[in-house]
Structure 1
Amino acid sequence: MIATTAPLRILKAPPSILKVDYEKVEFLTSDGLTLRGWFFPAADPAAPAILYAPATAKDQRQGLSLVRPLHEAGYHVLLFSYRGSGESDGNRFVFSYGARESQDVDAAVRYLVETRGITCIGGIGHSAGAVALILSAARNPNLHAVVAAAPFPSLEDAWRVNRPTFFPPPLYEQVMRLAEWRKGFTRDEVRPLDVVHRLSPRPILFVFGQADRRIPPDQAKRLYEAAEEPKDIIWLPEASHEQVRSPGLDFLMPQLVDFFRRNLHSNATCFHRQSIP
């Protein structure tokens, strides 16, 4: 059992609670929206950066409890909110479960490379944020190491598992089709299962909860098996979907810091700019 409550209190706090220097930042997406967030600079300007991709209905504050251990390990940290979330531009009713949000991750990486001059970048994401991170990294060579906490293998899988029992499958399918139309995306855009192999030879670390009813173990194993080496997986024995994020990731920070140290600092390709979508 993971037992800690401190991270739960920090999730909705202002960044000043950390007593770590930070800057309010903003940057553009490829389709012209302004995203906003907080940048916590490392003491060494040449240090790698870690960005956090929030889960469904969460903004940049969901990453606050991860900032201090990453900052103390010597990393720049970027927290940002997707389009339509937090103080970022956009319609708050068009969350697309990773499709458009992966483009926002692209924009965050582009900001770190082009504005901050940082070319060695890792990412941590939870749930749909982990999906967005995988989708972005599959096309974005400047994401060099990924921690994916409780991602689903496809939106089709996630919808099927989470269908309310009172919804007949045909009616539920119509509701989901309406959601795709209203939000302007298709489920085929949200299939990390099909693209996760493209991260190789960059490493990915999966974190799953064995008590997660939203992403059951069989789905987790399918996604892990679809990834190519180097890859690893951590199972949190009693963690639900939300507990994978907190307190799960907070509890695992020593392992996550070690993962980034092993895979960013020794990665020569980190320090060369690549083209960014």
Structure 2
Amino acid sequence: MPREDIEFQTSDHVTLRGWFYKPSDSSDKLPCLVMSHGFSALKEMDLNTFAEYFTSKLALSCLVYDNRGFGTSDTLSGQPRHEILPPVQCSDISDAITYAQSRADVLENKIGIWGSSYSGGHVLWVGAVDRRVKAVLSQVPCVSGWDNFHRLIRPDFIPGLNTMFQEDRLGRAAGKTAQTLPVVDEDPLKPSALPTADSYEFFSAWGKKSNWKNEVTVKSIEAFREYDPSFHIHHISPTPLLMTVAENDVLTPTDLALKAYARAIEPKELQILPGGHFDGYSGSNFETNAGRQAAFLKKTLCV
């Protein structure tokens, strides 16, 4: 599928960079799916695979980009890279929609959003509050930062993290460099943002074949705990929603996602995949996963 290198400006004048895909035989205006990745992940970590699949099966374009401060995208002057602030990333999704609408080859009234993991939560928020969105695809989403945080972090580790949050705030106020943590660590007893075995396996593999960095700011973890991305899930309606949930997800727990889905209002669809959090990105589950998502897009966005 043809792929174009693109860049666009956010509302606070940060340049985000990515790729724009469209079918090889199309010269018409098409619907567009805006796609963003999860916690610290880069666009080449399988987002390209989904975009290529969708544009090969549908009369659809896909906009894929790196979140600010990651990969090829910039960050705000004076702010650290590898910092993840959910309200900012949600705002950036809306700015990506604006960029898509500005393109001559996009049908401006047919924009969908696709997010996975952390951004699977973001699209629930954006789909509710940005009424330009005409379809929402939420894959293995983080639906409650507070609940998710307390599932991932052992209770005896939390006082130490609270102290770390305080020290980081005081240090940054005094002009010191932002403190960081590894995203993953092989040793579950050592501090990391995503302390699960499958997270370590997934990110370590990508670290060997991409420019992904095993680093995130401490403030990102504090911001994660306070984030409630499914707060507005019942306001997505009447925009169609497809939520994809992994049957044995220990990173964004299955039961939390299902409870959030239950609060959504029709029209909505649920896809439950076998395996864990990362098993829908590639391998034997990919065709099932992407195929169901393509069928949803065909009847909601590509009509």
> TM-score range, shorter-chain basis?
0.7 to 0.9
- Answer yes or no: is the 8 Å Cα contact 2:280–2:289 preserved in 1: no
Q: Give the corresponding residue for 1:45.
A: 28
Shift of 1:201: 0.1
Deviates most, 220-229 or 240-249: 240-249
- Answer yes or no: is the 8 Å Cα contact 2:113–2:135 preserved in 1: yes
Q: Give the corresponding residue for 1:195.
A: 232
Question: Aligned letter for 1:85?
Answer: F
Question: Aligned letter for 1:86?
Answer: G
Higher Cα radius of gyration: 2
Identical counterparts, % of pairs = 24
Q: Deviations over 1:196-217 (max 9, x none)?
A: 1121000111111111112222
1:241-252 aligned within 5 A: 241-247=277-283, 248-252=285-289
TM-score, normalisation: structure 1: 0.80
Kindly tell me: are residues 112 and 189 of structure 1, through their superposed partners in 2, closer, same or farther at Cα, counting changes over 3 Å? farther
Structure 1 unaligned segments of length 5 or more: list them.
1-19, 267-277
- Answer yes or no: is the 8 Å Cα contact 2:148–2:253 preserved in 1: no
Question: Aligned letter for 1:67?
Answer: A
Separation (CA, whole Å) in 2 of partners of 1:216 and 1:224: 13
Between Structure 1 and Structure 2, the one with more helix by share is: 1
Question: Aligned letter for 2:257?
Answer: A
Shift of 1:186: 4.6
Match of 2:249 among 212, 226, 234: 212
Kindly tell me: are residues 199 and 189 of structure 1, through their superposed partners in 2, closer, same or farther at Cα, counting changes over 3 Å? farther
Q: Deviations over 1:118-168 (max 9, x none)?
A: 32111221101111222222221122111111112211112111104651x
SS in 2 for 1:95: coil
Separation (CA, whole Å) in 1 of partners of 2:107 and 2:146: 36
Is 2:48 aligned against 1:60?
no
Shift of 1:188: 8.0
TM-score, normalisation: structure 2: 0.73
- Answer yes or no: is the 8 Å Cα contact 2:120–2:141 preserved in 1: yes
Separation (CA, whole Å) in 2 of partners of 1:204 and 1:226: 12
Is 2:89 aligned against 1:101?
yes
Q: Deviations over 1:11-40 (max 9, x none)?
A: xxxxxxxxx222111111111101011111
Question: Aligned letter for 2:70?
Answer: S
- Answer yes or no: is the 8 Å Cα contact 2:124–2:230 preserved in 1: no
Separation (CA, whole Å) in 1 of partners of 2:225 and 2:248: 27
Match of 2:7 among 13, 26, 39: 26
Match of 2:134 among 136, 144, 163: 144
Structure 2 unaligned segments of length 5 or more: list them.
173-177, 179-218
Deviates most, 63-72 or 183-192: 183-192
Q: Give the corresponding residue for 1:232.
A: 269
SS in 1 for 2:281: helix
SS in 1 for 2:278: helix
SS in 1 for 2:115: strand
Separation (CA, whole Å) in 2 of partners of 1:207 and 1:87: 28
Question: Aligned letter for 1:113?
Answer: Q
Q: Give the corresponding residue for 2:107.
A: 118
- Answer yes or no: is the 8 Å Cα contact 1:153–1:222 preserved in 2: no
Deviates most, 257-266 or 176-185: 176-185
- Answer yes or no: is the 8 Å Cα contact 1:41–1:75 preserved in 2: yes
SS in 2 for 1:194: coil
Question: Aligned letter for 1:40?
Answer: Y
Question: Aligned letter for 2:35?
Answer: Y
